[in-house]
Structure 1
């Protein structure tokens, strides 16, 4: 057994399979009680396995090269993938120019915060060391996705389903900033509540993952605690900055500079990616049904004749096997 604070034992796919069995157990419980969350758990777990496997292969090469341009490319890729995840998968409603707005909000928060935080708060020189910079940017992107989704979803819901208040304020002469300020305040409150709650319970109730990883990696508990403080402050500030930026951009698009609410700029349909997927799947299913129908029409007469021939032959055989009965007395 490894000594406390020493390197952890190497993990194999058997260890991962054992941990995956926990998800399978939860899915079975969900299926037994009809809760409807089992498929989502299993799908997310399988995505996690695939994504982390790919990331491990890519990061291994980036760490080996120790090239700042490769690190910059990974940081941009993480922000781009986070934007796609936010717009395509997480958002039920979208607005015009949402993709560039979310991308600007993520880049404008994760890149400055990561550079300043790693270089000065974490005292890493140079700041772009792959083993330091890439994990931090990944954590910042993951946190900003949650904040942006919550804030923008609330803004779109209010302006699409409950736009009467905003229109009333605008009708009485309020500017679009004054009319939309209550919506923006509530959206940001909802987006930042998870981070505020998480900071409130760190250390006393929960020991976070970064601190646990640092301790398992051999760092002292004091250094691990300070590292977790720095990371947590970076995550919270980055989430707040990205949520504020995307909320303002969303309100600026939906309520135009003529102080009019533009519901036509809100799209409540599934994203074009999923509409295209549904169209392709529908066409494939239709063609498969048509091919099956044609095949059945061709094979049905053959099967019918075979059944009729088999019934006639069985009747003749039965007639031959039955003895002839003569009238009584003959």
Structure 2
């Protein structure tokens, strides 16, 4: 590895990771100093990053060594499943009925075909399922897809829930649900694709992206690394667009039914059930601890009172 141009001269240890973690601590101090309120989120995200990447490294090492297409397919499905969970549970501010399966279908229907076609033909990898090629690409596609899907869904549900009068007015004048929801869908898709467009417009001049940097550190020529980054960015753009379109159609078909009625009752504005269950469990545990503490305090207090009463009786006697 030391002979590869541009590669790190030494292997990285946990000490290096710990040193880099000081950057997160600096962000934490800034947040506390200026009252930004993101200090706990920063530390939590950093810890999640360490744990998740450590687990992924262990799993991927086994998959790379096995070189089994079914193992690669399982990892690809798992990445999409975890991406769907992150979208529905953590990222979405509002949810609609049957959101989880619809988002999962949208992600699988975009990341899998785009990755297969892109890796096999655009990247000229044969077979396309080589673990060291396919899994990292699917991971990048899932990460980019989550952002687009979240932006689209949050905008659609916000508009339908808070400004449903606009849609109902179109419906009252005889518009179909497709015609009434078209402006919302157009704006949602535009917002979902804007970050990807902005990112592509600054690559190479202002920013050197991660895939290109990784390829250069891995020993590839700068020209090959640049072309690889172009292919990846175009795949991400297509994947984001496809998944955003599918989720937009699913969401609008649920919140505006076949009878052309706006169904805000199908939009859940509460925290996700996972967080509600967590809060309930925490309240139960805290309540139980308070009860136990009060009983212990009462027991000790009772003994003290009994001792004082006996001492008073002795003095009076």
Pairwise CA distance, 1:301: 2.7
- Look up the SS of the partner of 2:270 in the other structure: coil
Contiguous gaps of at least 5 residues in structure 2: 313-317
Residue matched to 1:28: 29
Pairwise CA distance, 1:302: 2.8
Pairwise CA distance, 1:307: 7.5
Contiguous gaps of at least 5 residues in structure 1: 312-330
- Look up the SS of the partner of 2:158 in the other structure: helix
| 1:158 matched to 2:162 | no
Residue matched to 1:290: 291
TM-score w.r.t. the length of structure 1 is 0.91
Residue matched to 1:134: 135
Q: Residues 166-245 of structure 1: matches in 2 within 5 Å?
A: 166-245=167-246
Pairwise CA distance, 1:299: 0.6
Q: How many residues align?
A: 314
Consecutive aligned runs of 4 or more in structure 1 exceeding 4 Å deviation: 1-4, 304-311
2:261, 2:158 → 1: CA distance? 17
- Look up the SS of the partner of 1:127 in the other structure: coil
Residue matched to 1:109: 110
Contact 2:212 2:225 in 1 (8 A): yes
CA RMSD of aligned residues (A): 2.0
- Look up the SS of the partner of 1:149 in the other structure: helix
Instruction: Please identify, of 53-62 and 255-264, the stretch whose mean Cα deviation from structure 2 is larger.
Output: 255-264
2:183, 2:122 → 1: CA distance? 34
Residue matched to 2:315: none
Q: Residues 243-282 of structure 1: matches in 2 within 5 Å?
A: 243-282=244-283
- Look up the SS of the partner of 2:11 in the other structure: coil
- Deviations, residues 15-57 of structure 1 (Å, cap 9, x unaligned): 1001111001110111122111111111000000000000000
Larger radius of gyration: 1
1:172, 1:299 → 2: CA distance? 74
Pairwise CA distance, 1:91: 1.0
TM-score w.r.t. the length of structure 2 is 0.95
Residue matched to 2:60: 59
1:111, 1:305 → 2: CA distance? 74
